[in-house]
Structure 1
Amino acid sequence: MKFRAVMIDAGPMREFTNIVSTISKLCKECVLRLSSDQLYFIVSDENSGPAPPILWCEIPQAMFFSEYQMVGLDEEHKDIYLGISSASLARSLTTLKSAKSLKLKLTKKQCPCLTLEIEVPSSTSLQTRHVTHDIPVAVIPRKMWSDFQEPTIPKPDITIELPTLKQVRTTIERMKSMASEVTVRAAAAGRLALQIRTDMATVATRFKGLRVEAFEGPIDHSDSESESQTNEDISTTCYCRVDAKKLSMFLSSEQISHNRTLCSIVHKKLLILSLHTEENVTLQCFITGIVY
């Protein structure tokens, strides 16, 4: 297996740093999948062993790298799967904000490593400094690749565009200090509600006038506890109750410059959050619903 890639533009280097920094806040370890046209960062639930990913990030290599070369296992299995410390990778990239170039390559030291060679301007002369980081990686065997495929999900009942992530994050940060679970409710009329319940009160924040990308209603509420709002047609409304901490962690991706974020709900079962950037990067988070 071989891999070598070079990045020379300041914008992509800054964006790549922000993406990796966000992922490092979500997990200590992740899987880096390298293919001929994409890089994938894949995060599984740390507490559940082998399981479908809870986070899936796709980065088109052509938008970020000026050079990109790789050779996989063989002609049939061309990808490379690496287990890597996302925190170590994020720390290594901190100097990219002022760097002239970044070279990534697979190397063999005492163990397999992802080696980063960063060219940084000197503050005292016209010369440049070269900083090298060797990050140990675990090469994932072919028989385990199926554990790191993009999740197959049911068709969402509704997909709605979120307000600015900063607004939503501020709301969720306050809510999670009062309750461990939050209910996300979306209506075909373009309304979104975030709600928590405690022994003392029910607290909700509502947004309206949002763009609805798709609605597959009507929604069957026959087996649901009453979640409806006054004067609202519940057949056009679906919801999902999720872990507030997991939702909050995704919202830290606000530092990635993006043009839209979508919220898709499979009624009561699954919340899918998708962030899209102008560079065609997609970051998806899958949060399983809590059902009593």
Structure 2
Amino acid sequence: MRFTANMQQPDTLRAVLYGMSFLRKHCLVRITDGRFTLISFKESLGQSATQIWAHLELADIFSEIQIGSLDNDHINMELNLDHFVRALKSCTSSTDTVKVKLAKRGRIPYLVVSVDGPSYTSIKQEIPIKVIRENVLEGIAEPTIPNPDVSLELYRQVRSVLRICDRYRNLTKHITLAANRAGELRIAIQNDDVTVEATWTNLTLMLSGDSQEEDDESQQEVDKETLYSVVVNADELFDTLRISYASRRIIFCISDRFTLMLHVLLAGLDDHSYVSYYIPSLTL
């Protein structure tokens, strides 16, 4: 098995890995068909298990790529996110050259990250990995969810949402998110001790298929005000939103009482590279 490449976007990749690491410390890396995919979920997928799927164009992140394996040039490995982030922190300047390659010491496989700068010699860090055969992953697939009832696009508002979630998670274990097609997003908590709500308005509505198309004009007006909601773990929502520091915009997609999906478009990359968070709605 062989993989060597020069890294073109170390800061972007580090930000993605760092954002993912708040929820999980290990992830699966798949290199296949021109894609660099990062997958993170609990080993036992339950109702409350948030999944993360980061789909990055291989050519957006790497150059001078060489790939070879007995699994049709597909490479799968598991690694520790903190170790990968720490290795990429060695890159401190845009003039640094970052190279990655797979290597072995005895029978132990590693992902080697080398950073070369104009004013210092090469810094090499070895990240232990677990190589996974392609047939082992046959049961792993991205979640299938219904068409969202409402999808709202956030730009600068994401940071204020993050701050509100940080406050709310100190007051409760669960947060309710609700949105409508008038461009309104509400985040609320309600328990025996406190009831509080924050609202954002005039957000951009993203249309998706027939679910948001109505023939009757009066019905459209009713639908615009209808709220669709999910209840999620407060800490997990806050940790998920930390990816905002690597994003240029985030789309909140709500399937009523089923799933919150955050579609994160990354700074410095086109729309073909993105991260999707799937957060199931809780039944309390």
SS of 2:137 mapped into structure 1? helix
One-letter code aligned to 2:42: D
Q: Which residue of 1 aligns with 2:77?
A: 82
| Offset, 1:144 | 2.2
* Distance change >3 Å, CA 103–CA 70, structure 1 → 2: same
Q: Which residue of 2 aligns with 1:275?
A: 264
* Distance change >3 Å, CA 181–CA 53, structure 1 → 2: closer
Aligned CA RMSD, in angstroms, stands at 2.3
Match for residue 64 of structure 2 among 43, 64, 67: 67
What's the CA shift string for 1:73-99, capped at 9, x where partnerless?
333xx3211010111111111111226
SS of 1:96 mapped into structure 2? coil
* Distance change >3 Å, CA 36–CA 87, structure 1 → 2: same
* Correspondence list, 1:85-124, <5 A: 85-98=80-93, 100-110=96-106, 111-122=108-119
**Equivalent residues of 1:217, 1:236 under 8 A apart:** no
* Correspondence list, 1:193-204, <5 A: 193-204=186-197
Larger RCO: Structure 1 or Structure 2 (Cα < 8 Å, ≥ 6 residues apart)? Answer: 2
Looking at structure 2, the residues matched to 235 and 138 of structure 1 have their Cα atoms a distance apart, in angstroms, of: 50
| Offset, 1:235 | 6.8
| Offset, 1:114 | 0.7
Q: Percent identity?
A: 25
**Equivalent residues of 2:41, 2:52 under 8 A apart:** yes
Looking at structure 2, the residues matched to 53 and 108 of structure 1 have their Cα atoms a distance apart, in angstroms, of: 33
* Distance change >3 Å, CA 161–CA 188, structure 1 → 2: same
**Equivalent residues of 2:50, 2:280 under 8 A apart:** no
Looking at structure 2, the residues matched to 250 and 285 of structure 1 have their Cα atoms a distance apart, in angstroms, of: 7
| Offset, 1:233 | 6.5
Looking at structure 1, the residues matched to 140 and 51 of structure 2 have their Cα atoms a distance apart, in angstroms, of: 10
SS of 1:66 mapped into structure 2? strand
* Correspondence list, 1:135-150, <5 A: 135-150=127-142
Aligned length: 267
What's the CA shift string for 1:244-287, capped at 9, x where partnerless?
1111111111221x331001111101100011024132011110
Q: Which residue of 2 aligns with 1:176?
A: 169
**Equivalent residues of 2:181, 2:223 under 8 A apart:** no
**What TM-score does the superposition give when structure 1 sets the normalisation length?**
0.84
Q: Identify unmatched segments of 5+ residues in structure 2.
A: 214-221
**Equivalent residues of 1:59, 1:282 under 8 A apart:** yes
Looking at structure 2, the residues matched to 97 and 64 of structure 1 have their Cα atoms a distance apart, in angstroms, of: 17
SS of 1:205 mapped into structure 2? strand
**What TM-score does the superposition give when structure 2 sets the normalisation length?**
0.87
One-letter code aligned to 2:2: K
